[in-house]
Amino acid sequence: MNKKMLVISVAAAFIVSAFAAMSVYSQEDVESVRDSAFGVRMRDKVAFMHDEHNEKAGIDDCTECHHVYDEEGVKLEDESSEDRECSECHMAGGKDKMDLMRAYHLNCKGCHEEQKAGPVMCAECHEKG
Ligand code: HEC
Ligand code: HEC
Ligand code: HEC
Ligand code: HEC
């Protein structure tokens, strides 16, 4: 390989890896819930291994969490809001951080209580570290 070829291939490798780093970040990489709307938090962060959690819990339907409702409050079964944070809706129209917190707790803890599986104590979800 001559010098010019080497420069070109090194540059190409850089570009390829830059694109890879941009595109691979998806729900598989989610390890905790960090809704940007909270800002400074009172509690420790909530561990949530997205794909692993949903596999273990046997949840196939993304809209169990990433839901969309129509104006009458009817859940739209084939629409997903996976491209939006919960806060985009649960803090809209005058709702505050407490409403957002309640939405998370009702969704997460609500299901754990209902299914008698998964953590329900504060420190089991809000882990140190
Ligand atoms: C048990 C609830 C739950 C289920 C079921 C669920 N998700 Fe999520 N998902 C979340 C939460 C909570 C976040 C936000 C994590 C954060 O705050 O960064 C998230 C984040 C995401 C993100 C954004 C990742 C990023 O770039 O930050 C995508 C995409 C996503 N989920 C897709 C899916 C798909 C596809 C399914 C169905 C196969 C699914 N989710 C099922 C709770 C769920
Ligand atoms: C596109 C807007 C939107 C997004 C994004 C969204 N929600 Fe909702 N959610 C709604 C609407 C609308 C309702 C029905 C009216 C209400 O109860 O506020 C609802 C209802 C709920 C309820 C009450 C339903 C019940 O079981 O009684 C919970 C809990 C909830 N959402 C949690 C979440 C969580 C957690 C996320 C993020 C993973 C999320 N929502 C994302 C719009 C949204
Ligand atoms: C529709 C039901 C359902 C919802 C919604 C749900 N979970 Fe779970 N979760 C489960 C079940 C079932 C288990 C027990 C899985 C097992 O170990 O068998 C579980 C287990 C867990 C565990 C234990 C460790 C693990 O990953 O198995 C954590 C932590 C957890 N859930 C956090 C959350 C958080 C945070 C949310 C909300 C963003 C959430 N869960 C929403 C059903 C649910
Ligand atoms: C099933 C899991 C789960 C349990 C149990 C739970 N939480 Fe949470 N909580 C969450 C999730 C998920 C969020 C959103 C976290 C984020 O985006 O940073 C949250 C957010 C919060 C927030 C707002 C963010 C902050 O840190 O200021 C507070 C306060 C909070 N929880 C307190 C509590 C308290 C107190 C308990 C016990 C009574 C509790 N939580 C139990 C999952 C849980």
- pLDDT given at position 42: 94
- pLDDT given at position 41: 94
Opening angle at CA 53, ends 67 and 105, nearest 5: 55
The pair of structure tokens assigned to 6 is 């080497």
Considering the domain delimited by 33-125, tell me its CATH architecture. Alpha-Beta Complex (3.90)
Whether the Cβ atoms of residue 46 and residue 126 lie closer than 8 Å to each other: yes
Burial of 120 (C-beta count, 10 Å sphere; 0-12/13-18/19+): middle
Residues marked as binding for heme c? 50, 53, 62, 65-67, 108, 111-112, 122, 125-126
User: What does the alpha-carbon distance between residue 49 and residue 9 come to, in Å, rounded to a whole number?
Assistant: 37
pLDDT (tens digit per residue) in 44-82: 999 999 999 999 999 999 999 999 999 999 999 999 999
66 C-beta closer than 6 A to ligand 3? no
Question: Which listed ligand is nearest to 103 at the C-alpha?
Answer: 2
Ligand 4 atom at minimum distance from 34 CA:
17
- pLDDT given at position 100: 98
pLDDT (tens digit per residue) in 17-40: 555 555 556 899 999 999 999 999
pLDDT of residue 95 exceeding 70:
yes
Amino acid at 88: E
> Which residues are CB-contacts of 27 (< 8 A; sequence separation ≥ 6)?
50, 51, 82
**Residue with the nearest Cα to atom 16 of ligand 4?**
34
Question: Which listed ligand is nearest to 115 at the C-alpha?
Answer: 3
Q: What lines the ligand 4 site, CB under 6 Å?
A: 33-35, 38, 41-43, 46, 101, 104-105, 108-109, 112, 119-122, 124-126
Domain edges within the chain: 33-125
